[in-house]
Amino acid sequence: MLKAIESSEITKTFGATKALDNISFSVNESEVFGFIGPDGAGKTTLFRIITTLMLPDEGTMKVLGMDCKSEYKELRKNIGYMPGRFSLYQDLSVEENLNFYATVFGTTVEENYELISDIYSHIEPFKKRLAGKLSGGMKQKLALSCALIHKPRLLVLDEPTTGVDAVSRSEFWDMLGKLRQHNITIIVSTPYMDEAIRCDKVALLQNGRILSIDTPQKIRAGFSRKLFAVKSVEKYRLIKTLRKNPEILTAYPFGDSVHVTFINNTLDNCLFEYLAKEGIGDAVIQELEAGIEDRFLELMNKER
Amino acid sequence: MMGNKVITVRNLVKKFGSFVANDNLNFEVSAGEIFGFLGANGAGKTTTIRILSGLSKPTSGEVKVAGFDAYRQTENIKKNIGYMCQKFSLYEDLTVKENIVLFGGIYGMSKSLIRERLVELLANLRFQEYENRIISDLPLGLRQKLAFSVAVLHEPRIVFLDEPTGGVDPITRRQFWEMIYEKAASGITVFVTTHYMDEAEYCDRISIMSEGKIVALDSPEKLKKQYNAPTVEEVFIKIARP
Amino acid sequence: MKRFLGFVKKEFLHIFRDYRTLFILFGIPAAQILIFGYAVSTDIKNAGVAILDLSHDEVTQKLTDKIFSSGFFKKTETLLNYNNIDKVFKKGKTKAVIVFEDDFGKKLISEGKASLNIIADGSEPNTATLITNYTTAIMNDFTNEFAGSVLNNSIRISPELKMLYNPNLKSHFMFVPGVVTLILILICALMTSVTITREKEFGTMEVLLVSPLRPIQIILGKVTPYFILSFINVLLILGLSWLVFGLPVKGSITLLLAECMLYILMSLTLGILISTVSKNMQQAIFISLIGLMLPTILLSGFIFPIENMPKIYDYVSSIMPPRYFIVIIKNIMIKGTGLMYIWKETLILIIMTLVFIGLSVRKFKIRLE
């Protein structure tokens, strides 16, 4: 299979900060590849190098078979880019924005309409509205349409779901899923760990380094211990109590439960009694499969 | 924990011209409660928070914050609350210490009290080496934790947090929430908005706003039962797309 | 009180940590004093004067020597008759022609008075008035000396002033062309300087870069609408000055409009150049408004003639486009000259425009750093 992106030992430094440290990975054609990591992990910097907007200090990057440094002119014609903050013309209407990007890429809205029809249909009733007056979810859909309108071979989406409500986020990933049938390679960056499972492959990024690259399932399976979820009504007390327990290795709040691992990797039978003694009588403990975020936390701790 | 109401909102309406940003809101928040305020952007959350923090006056309805009236006693409200918003919280070109001293002064705290809290704060966050570093040099996670500490420096009765953990790494996010839990346990009411659905679960109660109205208000557990959903995210989706 | 002081302290810290604010606070006043001190002068120095001596006697010779040894005037030409006065002014170096009438010396001795005509370039009324005053002073000086040595006391040499091109000495003949020059460059440079930096600030530039658009297309694409609209602007301004101030266009209107469009094009491309080097809109506005405005007003010859300034200002002014355009516009509007007399200035503007476009394309960042 042809590689859509081949990155080798990419390093990028800004002043005293190493934004990217020896990043190597490859993306297959037609894959949906996610880069997961918090702010400052290096996602935007990496995407800017991929889209030829920045040059790496060291390393090589081949995108769609072209070198990101010397063949940038040709490469730019084949990429659909949606940067953070969506970058739409706030004082142009939905329609005008779309037409502009179509023209700039030497095509028309009609030519590739079937590619964006699912997405655009949500905002078409608002096509005369100024982009600045759209809600976050609608801006997102418009920006995606503009990035797709010229049928790029590679779609680069930098934090397309940040700051957008949960429902729109979910819908967005549904739309991305439908794009697979058009053989477009898609790379997405996001700080939301739960979005990782929507990708074919995922790279976990932290402080400019890749902690892990694999399919979401394999990353989860990489969790090295048994994981347990402990629930109680008194969440704060539960966390503090669990942390005091000498048998417990890690205890992290995860929504309505606390994910714990044990030093000797088995459920301590005395845990219930211990909790009851500390005043928590309603604890419920269950073993569960590790999620991406659990694995991320484990890897982060290893790095420290 | 229950019983002592620090926020009372009855039939709150806020209009901007003919646009109704808040449409007849009703809720109460108790002392020491962690109250999550959810909803899509543009649903009206920021408008409500601005009214509750004394920055804006309601169009109609009754609003009492820390016992003060939101129409006539906004200055008193401001003295009794802490505020941390995503866009700005600390002065980027000042040092950690300068920011703390500045805000302490603004809150009207005595020099000795400021000094005391400064030492405490630096110890709690394990920040001692950063005392004289400029804010813009610090990583995001540290800045957010510091911003929160500064917002509660004067031990207000209520603190308003607007998307405080946006983009922060998972470990720091959790540490942040433990700081929130600690403060709530000491009696400070925390009013927080967030887009992270798992953080909604940390709250005692959450409300979901949509198009100016409150469409759900209860504890996460009760809401999940009511909508037959395993997570708050599912509740959110079910409400938005019934 | 404590709060207040704490707040004041913070403000001081902000100021001292931002070098830009310090520059505005201290750098600009210092620069202004220096510029104002030297550039603004209501004296004349080396004003170009031509002599038309119809008398050629000892008296006129003495007067001529006295005039040119005063240091205020510089001899440009000696004329033989009235025919070439117009041409002499159009060349631009001569600001006034002093005419000694026939039998000047004889009349002075026999009748006690003789007349002296000063024909001045009315497109610079300030200079013309100054020249008249200085000449009068020199004449008075001379008559006092002369009277004492040769004749009885009451002799008078009365200079009569005639303004060419501007008979009523309307000051807006000086102002309006200057204001047009100033406004056009400021507005045009400001408009285009903001447009590129705005895209950078709002992030839309990123998407434009990752597209088939070439820098030259982006640049020309931004200049074109402003160019078309500015043309309408020019018509408006010229129309208003004609209607309200009665300012005529003595020369060819087509030539005037063509030169205006050239100037506008130059200003627009200057704005583009500014925006390629500005990091954000604030910087762009600062440079195009404040950076351009003061030097243009003070150093382009708009109000204060360049000849009166120290040599160094002359050099600085020579890289400023408005200096050349003022000459062009005054020549066409007030003196009615054709391209022949202003080809040098026109060529300079053309070269500047090409240089700005070339530099803009080169400095246009095709990447984000």
What is the per-residue pLDDT across B157-181, written as a single tens digit (0 to 9) for each? 999 998 888 878 888 889 999 999 9
**Per-residue pLDDT reduced to its tens digit, B195-225:** 888 889 999 999 999 889 999 999 999 999 9
The answer to ipTM > 0.95 is no
Residue B242 pLDDT > 80, yes or no? no
Q: Do A89 and C213 touch (CB under 8 A)?
A: no
Angle formed at CA C146 by CA C143 and CA C152, multiple of 5 degrees: 90
- How far apart are the C-alpha atoms of A209 and A304, rounded to whole Å? 13
Residue B186 CA to its chain's centroid (Å): 16
**Per-residue pLDDT reduced to its tens digit, B14-58:** 999 888 999 999 999 999 999 999 988 778 888 999 999 999 999
Measured in angstroms, the CA of A158 and the nearest CA of chain C are apart by 12
CA proximity to A154, closest of A39, A277, A5, A271: A5
pLDDT of residue B1: 43
Interchain CB contact of A229 with B (< 8 Å): no
pLDDT of residue B3: 62
Q: Do C211 and A83 touch (CB under 8 A)?
A: no
How far, in Å, are B13, B30, B45, B63, B151 from residue B67 at the CA level? Answer: 19, 12, 21, 9, 20
Q: Which of B98, B100, B133 to mutate to test the interface with C (most CBs of C within 10 A)?
A: B98
Q: Do A252 and B174 touch (CB under 8 A)?
A: yes
CA proximity to B209, closest of A132, A161, A165: A165
- How far apart are the C-alpha atoms of A83 and A80, rounded to whole Å? 10
Return the percentage of chain C with pLDDT > 70, whole number.
Answer: 93
Query: Chain A partners of C366 at a C-beta cutoff of 8 Å?
Result: 72
Query: Chain B partners of A296 at a C-beta cutoff of 8 Å?
Result: 170
Residues C151-160, mean pLDDT to the nearest whole number = 68
Return the percentage of chain C with pLDDT > 90, whole number.
Answer: 12
Number of residues that this document lists for chain B: 242
Q: Which of B143, B171, B183, B193 to mutate to test the interface with A (most CBs of A within 10 A)?
A: B171
Structure tokens at A291: 């999620």
Q: Which of residues 2-31 of C touch B (CB under 8 A)?
A: 2-3, 5-7, 9-10, 13-14, 17-18
Nearest to C207 among A83, A90, A106 (CB): A83
Of A226-240, B21-35, C311-325, which range is least confident?
C311-325
Q: Do C13 and B101 touch (CB under 8 A)?
A: no
Question: What is the per-residue burial (b if ≥16 Cβ within 10 Å, else e) of A73-109?
Answer: eebbebbbbbbbbbbbbeebbbbebbbbbbebbeeeb
- How far apart are the C-alpha atoms of A39 and A17, rounded to whole Å? 14
Interchain CB contact of A17 with B (< 8 Å): no
Beta pairing partners, C84? none
At C178 the three-state DSSP class reads helix
Structure tokens at C97: 């022609």
Q: Do C6 and B93 touch (CB under 8 A)?
A: no
Q: Which of C5, C8, C10, C16 to mutate to test the interface with B (most CBs of B within 10 A)?
A: C10
SS3 percent helix, strand, coil of chain C, rounded to 5, is 70, 10, 20
Partners of chain C (3+ Cβ pairs below 8 A):
A, B
Query: Chain B partners of A286 at a C-beta cutoff of 8 Å?
Result: none
- How far apart are the C-alpha atoms of C258 and C281, rounded to whole Å? 31
CA-nearest residue of chain C to A55? C367
Interchain CB contact of A136 with B (< 8 Å): yes
pLDDT of residue C157: 76
Let me know: does A196 contact A31? Beta carbons within 8 Å: no
At A155 the three-state DSSP class reads strand
CA-nearest residue of chain C to A72? C210
Partners of chain A (3+ Cβ pairs below 8 A):
B, C
Residues A4-23, mean pLDDT to the nearest whole number = 93
Let me know: does B181 contact A236? Beta carbons within 8 Å: yes
Angle formed at CA C335 by CA C334 and CA C341, multiple of 5 degrees: 130
**Per-residue pLDDT reduced to its tens digit, B103-145:** 988 888 899 999 999 999 998 888 888 889 898 888 888 888 9
CA proximity to B90, closest of B163, B151, B7, B171: B151
Residue B2 pLDDT > 70, yes or no? no
What would the DSSP string read from start to end of A51-108? TTSS--SEEEEEETTEETTTTHHHHHHTEEEE-TT----TTSBHHHHHHHHHHHTT--
Let me know: does C96 contact C131? Beta carbons within 8 Å: yes
At A146 the three-state DSSP class reads helix
Q: How many CA atoms lie within 13 A of A290 on its CB side?
A: 23
Interchain CB contact of C87 with B (< 8 Å): no
Structure tokens at A100: 């502009």
**Per-residue pLDDT reduced to its tens digit, C238-251:** 888 888 877 778 88
Measured in angstroms, the CA of B110 and the nearest CA of chain C are apart by 9
Q: Do C3 and B93 touch (CB under 8 A)?
A: no
